[in-house]
Structure 1
Amino acid sequence: MDVLTFTSTTIKSLAWPTVVIFLVLMLKKPITEIVPLLRKLKYKELEIEFSDAVAELKAEASTSILDAGTPTTPETQPQNRLLQLVNLSTRAAILEAWLEVETAAAAVASSFWNKPRMDTFRNYAKLGDYLLQCKVIDTKQLEIFNRLKELRNKAAHAEELNLSKNDARSYVELASALAAHIKAA
């Protein structure tokens, strides 16, 4: 291989990586300004989507769950054990918080049938709709119920979940407030 062939081959193999590095350096500032505005990101998509959804739910909950006439007793405050669980495992805290909502909903739904808590309601896909029909929750709270359930499913089925403790705390607080509202009905 002569010098010209070697030089030509080297330039060919380095051309694209050099262009990519150059573009990244040139577009670094615009890219960093756009990243916070992203709703979804392919790399670790779940965490960014989960954070946005929890923030939206927290804003909605201030008008529909917390201000819906739920009394402020120690039962309505987020439970300390769940908040302590956030420090150990955000996924476990989310799953346990949802379990509280689901248990409260199943117990209230069963009470309309004058029977002890039935596990069939826990597995009932339209449990939130049934609570709406029985006027335990309103349409805004049904939406929050369904979104909490969806977020719980994402947390349960994600292979990797690097969720921030603040997002998990927010989820726990929302779920606890909804569970307290349902229990108070």
Structure 2
Amino acid sequence: MNQLEFWSSVIKSTTWPIVVLIVVWLLRKPITNMIEKIAELKFKYKDLEATFSKGLHKAEAELELQSSVSDNSESSDSQEDEESSLKNSNSAIKTKIAKEAPHLLVVMSWLLVENELNSVIDKLDNPSDLRHKPPTAKMKYLVDNNYLDRSFLDAFVDLGRLRNVAVHNVKEAQNISYLESKKYNNLTKKIIKGLQNIKYD
């Protein structure tokens, strides 16, 4: 093999990688734009586009109907003091989470709702297969059996969609603000309060 044959084989073997690199370099902006457009696709449920702030307003409107419901629970002073100090420490932690990573407060708030819902389902005399159903089916059971008002189910479904946005839509999750996460947390507290106020017959 002489020098001419050597350089010929080197050029043959490196030509296609160089061409690919040049094409990728030339098309880097269109490829980047295409990837960004795919990432910007919003979470969709049927034909409803769920942006976080719009979903919050909808859930808030549904739960406003329930804000007139009073809390009839009674507790002793020592229980109230203990609950108050626990709420203050939890509130400080939630505030810190909301400031650092608002989408994590959304996820944490949703987990608290699901935990309370599972607790209620366990206390009810219900079919055993209900425990293994999705959260929406459990909430629907409570509404269908007149434990809760329909507005709770509607708000629960909306908040569930927003939780999915926070978990599965990275770009939208990064856009969740501190105030939106706090508002989401407050709405989940209303659902939890409604679940806690269920009277067991």
* TM bucket, shorter chain: 0.5 to 0.7
Q: For residues 53-72 of structure 1, what are the structure 2 equivalents within 5 Å? A: 53-64=55-66, 66-71=67-72
**1:111 match:** 123
Extract structure 1 runs of 4+ deviating beyond 6 A.
Answer: 72-75
Deviation of residue 48 (structure 1)? Answer: 7.9
Task: State the alpha-carbon separation in 2 of the partners of residues 110 and 126 from structure 1.
Answer: 14
* 8 A Cα contact 1:108 1:182, kept in partner: yes
Larger Rg: 2
Deviation of residue 124 (structure 1)? Answer: 4.6
Task: State the alpha-carbon separation in 2 of the partners of residues 93 and 173 from structure 1.
Answer: 11
Cα deviations across residues 13-43 of structure 1 (Å, max 9, x unaligned)?
xxxxxxxxxxxxxxxxxxxxxxxxxxxxx95
Cα deviations across residues 148-177 of structure 1 (Å, max 9, x unaligned)?
111111111112222111111110000011
Percent identity of paired positions between Structure 1 and Structure 2: 19
* Structure-2-length-normalised TM-score: 0.58
SS in 1 for 2:195: helix
Cα deviations across residues 122-159 of structure 1 (Å, max 9, x unaligned)?
x4541110111232211111100111111111111112
SS in 2 for 1:126: helix
Structure 1: which 5+ runs fail to align?
Answer: 1-41
* 8 A Cα contact 1:131 1:137, kept in partner: yes
Task: State the alpha-carbon separation in 2 of the partners of residues 57 and 125 from structure 1.
Answer: 15
Instruction: Give the letter for the 2:57 counterpart.
Output: A
**1:52 match:** 54
**1:172 match:** 185
Instruction: Give the letter for the 1:147 counterpart.
Output: D
**2:141 match:** 130
Cα deviations across residues 16-73 of structure 1 (Å, max 9, x unaligned)?
xxxxxxxxxxxxxxxxxxxxxxxxxx95746981111112222332222x22233598
* 8 A Cα contact 1:105 1:131, kept in partner: no
* 8 A Cα contact 1:57 1:144, kept in partner: yes
Give me the CA root mean square deviation. Answer: 3.2
Structure 2: which 5+ runs fail to align?
Answer: 1-38, 44-48, 74-79
Identify if the C-alpha distance between structure 1 residues 71 and 53 changes in structure 2 by more than 3 Å, giving closer, same or farther. farther
How many residues get paired?
139
